[in-house]
């Protein structure tokens, strides 16, 4: 209570879903469970400074992005504060300065909402823990993920590493719609340092915001089958993550990426978010895999960029393949090398 002013700084990474979250209910409750690899290099770093206020006159904060005032991001943060208000009543007692930057290029087509909301949630929980020092560590991380979820659904999977499940699933112990949990079983060694090379095919603004995208699942003709299928694919991935069966890993992961795009193509209104180069890359990956047997596969988010996933053991070979055959399909030859990582960190 006596805390007058101070600051914290946290980083949080992006994540890439293997089984996709697409469709939600009220209060950011997912329509189906999802699972993701937490990334390591694509991060948001956020410093939260706070000063106690004289009177409670609502939320007040300044927002700096890469050191400069950024008005355009403010409504999103304002909305986030309003959504978490009842869970964090102490927020109104302070004026905040949120100073944030991403380690990946701005408007690269990589969504920064997951890493950004997770980094902010960590800072807020750091403040709460300072006000309430007895707080248990498990509560700290669960509530951070719970708050991040209210900022952006997939952000709740960016608090912890290395594989995170969000959404209640009957075979995954402790799984809940309310926050992300670390995959509770032992993961096969083949997934240690698993690689994700992100090919930047189209760096433009998103054609469909994820808010609009999730809404398209309301009344979607295939919605129920899709949600059921996500449960089945999560069951399969659960087994695969434990036994290291890469052949089936590839089948589930690529299928999930194509399903995500298939439901967008069959929504009302409909969208095609892949670009010609996205398809070229997919075909090249399939050809390379069938010719060499190297277990490399792709996944996609709600956009044209391609995430190339492969074990660390084949990194050299795959990077050579990417440089020789795939880079030409990227905008300005740009790609980002990332890998599975540990989650948010205090700086």
d(CA 178, CA 327): 39
Note whether 117 and 179 are within 8 A (CB).
Answer: no
Question: Residue 134 Cβ, how far from ligand PMV at the closest point, in Å?
Answer: 32
Exposure b/e, 127-160, CB count within 10 A at least 16 = b? bbbeeeeeeeeeebbbbbbbbbbbbbbbbbbbbb
Residue (49 or 115) nearer to ligand PMV, CB? 115
Residue whose CB is less far from ligand PMV, 209 or 283: 209
Q: Tell which positions 254-293 bind ligand PMV, by CB under 6 A.
A: 260
With both helix axes pointing from N to C terminus, report the angle between 74-84 and 137-151 in degrees, rounded to the nearest 10: 130
Question: How far is the CA of 4 from the CAs of 30, 50, 61, 146, 186, in angstroms?
Answer: 38, 8, 16, 26, 44
* Shortest separation between residue 151's beta carbon and ligand PMV, angstroms: 9
Is residue 160 within 8 A of residue 83, CB to CB? The reply is: no
- Burial code (b: 16+ CB inside 10 Å, e: under 16) for 270-293 equals ebebbbebbebbbebbeebbeeee
| Cross-strand partners of 49 | 7, 97
Residue 21 CB, nearest distance to ligand PMV (Å)?
A: 3
Rounded to a whole number of angstroms, the minimum distance from the CB of residue 227 to ligand PMV is: 13
Among 11, 12, 13, 21, binds ligand PMV (CB under 6 A): 21
Q: Would you mind telling me the total number of residues written for the chain in this entry? A: 347
Binding string, residues 288-327; x marks residues near ligand PMV by CB under 6 A: -------------xx-------------------------
13 in contact with ligand PMV (CB under 6 A): no
CB of 232 to ligand PMV, least distance (A): 16
Residue 105 zone, left/alpha/beta (φ > 0; ψ -120 to 50; rest) = beta
Residue among 215 and 280 whose Cβ is closer to ligand PMV: 215
Is 153 near ligand PMV (CB under 6 A)?
A: yes
**Interaction mask 99-118, ligand PMV, x per CB under 6 A:** ------------x-xx----
Window of 55-63, 147-155, 230-238, 320-328 that interacts with ligand PMV by CB under 6 A? 147-155
Q: Among candidates 347, 310, 312, which has minimal Cα distance to 193? A: 312
Does position 44 interact with ligand PMV (CB under 6 A)? The reply is no
Query: Whole-number minimum distance, CB 149 to ligand PMV, in Å?
Result: 9
Q: Are strands 60-65 and 68-69 parallel, antiparallel or unpaired?
A: antiparallel
Query: From the list 210, 233, 305, 331, which residue makes contact with ligand PMV (rule: CB under 6 A)?
Result: 210
The upper half-sphere exposure of residue 177, i.e. CA atoms within 13 Å in the direction of its Cβ, equals 10
**Is residue 124 within 8 Å of 80, Cβ to Cβ?**
no
Q: Which residues contact 267 (CB under 8 A, 6 or more apart)?
A: 216, 217, 220
Count the site residues for ligand PMV by CB under 6 A: 15
Q: How far is the CB of 282 from ligand PMV (least distance, A)?
A: 17
Part of the chain binding ligand PMV (CB under 6 A), chosen from 19-27, 305-313, 319-327, 333-341? 19-27
From the CB of 109, what's the least distance to ligand PMV, in Å? 12
In whole angstroms, the minimum distance from the beta carbon of 213 to ligand PMV comes to 7
Among 11, 14, 32, 34, binds ligand PMV (CB under 6 A): 34
Return the number of the residue (250 or 302) whose C-beta is nearest ligand PMV.
302
Interface residue list for ligand PMV (CB under 6 A): 17, 20-22, 34, 111, 113-114, 152-154, 210, 260, 301-302
């Amino acid at each position: 209570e006596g805390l007058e002013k101070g600051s914290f700084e946290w980083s949080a990474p992006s994540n890439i879903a293997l089984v996709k979250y697409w469709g939600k209910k009220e209060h950011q409750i997912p329509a189906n469970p999802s699972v993701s690899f937490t990334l390591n290099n694509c991060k948001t770093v956020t410093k939260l400074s706070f000063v106690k206020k004289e009177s409670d006159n609502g939320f007040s904060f300044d927002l700096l992005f890469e050191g400069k005032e950024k008005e355009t991001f403010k409504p999103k943060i304002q909305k986030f504060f309003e959504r978490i208000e009842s869970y964090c009543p102490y927020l109104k007692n302070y004026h905040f300065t949120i100073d944030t930057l991403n380690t990946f290029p701005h408007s690269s087509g990589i969504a920064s909402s997951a890493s950004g909301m997770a980094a902010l949630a960590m800072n807020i929980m750091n403040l709460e823990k300072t006000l309430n020092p007895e707080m248990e560590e498990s509560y700290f991380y669960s509530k951070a993920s719970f708050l991040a979820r209210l900022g952006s659904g997939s952000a709740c999977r960016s608090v912890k590493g290395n594989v995170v499940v969000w959404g209640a699933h009957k075979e995954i112990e402790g799984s809940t719609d309310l926050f992300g949990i670390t995959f509770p079983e032992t993961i096969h060694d083949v997934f240690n340092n698993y690689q994700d090379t992100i090919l930047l095919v189209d760096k433009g603004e998103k054609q469909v915001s994820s808010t609009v995208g999730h809404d398209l699942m309301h009344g979607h003709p295939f919605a129920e089958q899709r949600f059921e299928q996500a449960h089945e694919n999560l069951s399969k991935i659960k087994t695969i993550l434990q036994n290291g069966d890469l052949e089936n890993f590839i089948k589930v992961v690529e299928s999930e990426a194509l399903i995500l795009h298939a439901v967008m193509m069959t929504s009302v209104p409909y969208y095609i978010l892949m670009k010609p180069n996205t398809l070229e890359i997919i075909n090249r990956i399939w050809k390379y895999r069938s010719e060499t047997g190297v277990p490399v596969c792709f996944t996609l988010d709600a956009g044209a960029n391609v995430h190339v996933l492969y074990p660390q053991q084949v990194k050299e070979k795959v990077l050579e393949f990417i440089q020789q055959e795939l880079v030409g399909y990227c905008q300005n030859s740009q790609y980002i090398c990332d890998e599975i990582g540990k989650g948010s960190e205090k700086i």
